[in-house]
Structure 1
Amino acid sequence: MPINWLFSEPILFISWIVAILVTLTIHEFSHAATAKYFGDNTAEDMGRVSLNPIAHIDPIGFAMLLFIGFGWAKPVPVNPYNLRNHRLSSALVSLAGPASNLVAAIVFSVMLSILTPILGPQNMLVNFLFLLILVNVILMVFNLIPIPPLDGSKVLFSILPDKYNNFKEKFSINGPFILISLVLLDSLLNLNIFSKLFGYVLDILTRFL
């Protein structure tokens, strides 16, 4: 776990923290900016259309992310009824976060492929770029899981017809407990399902770049 780097590899630990801050900021800013683009100013009014990490970081969620590897940022407030064509726009607002992480991972991968032969694989900047790619891939893939409160569930809810509103309501309530249970089981039983999934996507990304 990265917290183990605090004393053994302090520079790597600091790089990990910065990578998380950068990645979360990209993700949440993209949600807020996309909502504004489609007509909802709720996030802008709360100062969330910002690249300042402080606007997006939840202290408890961030601390848990560092210490146990599972946490959260402040959710971006969105009023879907302020959005133009609110059903489609809601899906696009939800997809904006993971999509921005994919774009960031691709950009950082290109930079890594250019700089590694020049600086060498042990260079601090090269290692930092790898961490940025890793964290962006993890956040992208994890958020696409269609379980509330993750972005994937919001995309799913936005495309389901109104006759499923009862399901949406119940799933929204129970989803967080299901998600936490899956994460705990994956860790306690050493299933490594999430890490294998992250590694698979990372492998695909690096293979094409």
Structure 2
Amino acid sequence: MITDYSIQAIAINAIPLIFAITIHEAAHGYAARYFGDNTAYVLGRVSLNPAKHIDPIGTVLVPLMLILAGSPFLVGYAKPVPVRFDRLHHPKTDSIWVALAGPGANFIQAILWAMAWIVIQGLSIQEPFLTGMAQAGVMWNIGLLVFNLFPIPPLDGGRILSGLLPTRQSLAFDRLERWGFFIVLALVFTGIIGELWMQPLSNLFMRLIDLLMTPLRMIF
């Protein structure tokens, strides 16, 4: 996602990345509360305060290791929002919506950043920092959206797949969660996720956003 790790590039990426992570996690907590579980709300995790969501490994260590390894993709994750799925009104189906809330929040943010990008260009605002930030906002949110949809627990895609599977298969699939982090980490560092998952799906979502931006692009 990022190949330039200069101070300027970090400054441009910081704000959209913070929003992408914090709104993603807060969306999980809000959805869980809406469907019956207020655990995250009680613990103060339905918050836009980035400090509430920073995970030492996923937010700091994994991206740092990818930077040092020269990876073309820079991914990570925040501290998972605690959800008591047994407290949801309909645990099987509501868990799917709770899992979708985070990627959905990223998709909405990507659309908003794309709109900002088009407006900046349309108004001929010659400000590279703002243009770069809008571009970074789109790319970060698409990256987090696609990465989190990978169907391995504890990623959101794993939660969604678990909710879609029949109960017996779902319980068996959920046992992967204890090893999920290591599986995903291995797939990231071997480039498998990047080549076979991130790139194709990122391109798909980018084309979708480009299509959605057609009316706004006609105006500007």
1:17 aligns with 2:14: yes
| 8 A contact 1:3–1:13 mirrored in 2 | no
How far the C-alpha of 1:181 sits from its partner, in A, is 2.1
Relative to 1, partners in 2 of residues 1:192 and 1:13: Cα closer, same or farther, differing over 3 Å? Answer: farther
How far the C-alpha of 1:82 sits from its partner, in A, is 1.0
Stretches of structure 2 lacking an aligned partner (at least 5 in a row): 67-73, 214-220
Which residue number corresponds to residue 157 of structure 1? 162
Amino acid at match of 1:147: I
Q: Distance in 1 between matches of 2:172 and 2:166?
A: 11
Which residue number corresponds to residue 94 of structure 1? 99
| 8 A contact 2:162–2:174 mirrored in 1 | no
SS at match of 1:197: helix
Number of residues of Structure 1 aligned to a counterpart in Structure 2: 205
Q: Which has the higher contact order (CA 8 A, sep 6+)?
A: 2
1:37 aligns with 2:34: yes
1:111 aligns with 2:108: no
Q: Distance in 1 between matches of 2:174 and 2:196?
A: 30
Alignment of 1:114-193 (within 5 A): 114-120=119-125, 123-186=128-191, 191=195
Q: Distance in 2 between matches of 1:20 and 1:160?
A: 32
Amino acid at match of 1:164: Q
Amino acid at match of 1:80: F
How far the C-alpha of 1:3 sits from its partner, in A, is 7.6
| 8 A contact 1:112–1:126 mirrored in 2 | yes
1:197 aligns with 2:175: no
Q: Distance in 2 between matches of 1:53 and 1:197?
A: 27
After TM superposition, which residue ranges in structure 1, 4 or more long, deviate above 3 angstroms? 1-4, 119-122, 190-193
The percentage of counterpart residues that share the same residue type is 33
Amino acid at match of 1:89: D
Amino acid at match of 1:5: Y
1:5 aligns with 2:2: no
Which residue number corresponds to residue 212 of structure 2? 208
Q: State the TM-score, normalized to the length of structure 2.
A: 0.83
Aligned Cα root-mean-square deviation (Å) = 2.4
How far the C-alpha of 1:170 sits from its partner, in A, is 3.1
Q: Distance in 1 between matches of 2:184 and 2:90?
A: 30
How far the C-alpha of 1:186 sits from its partner, in A, is 1.1
Alignment of 1:51-62 (within 5 A): 51-62=48-59
Q: Distance in 2 between matches of 1:164 and 1:192?
A: 25
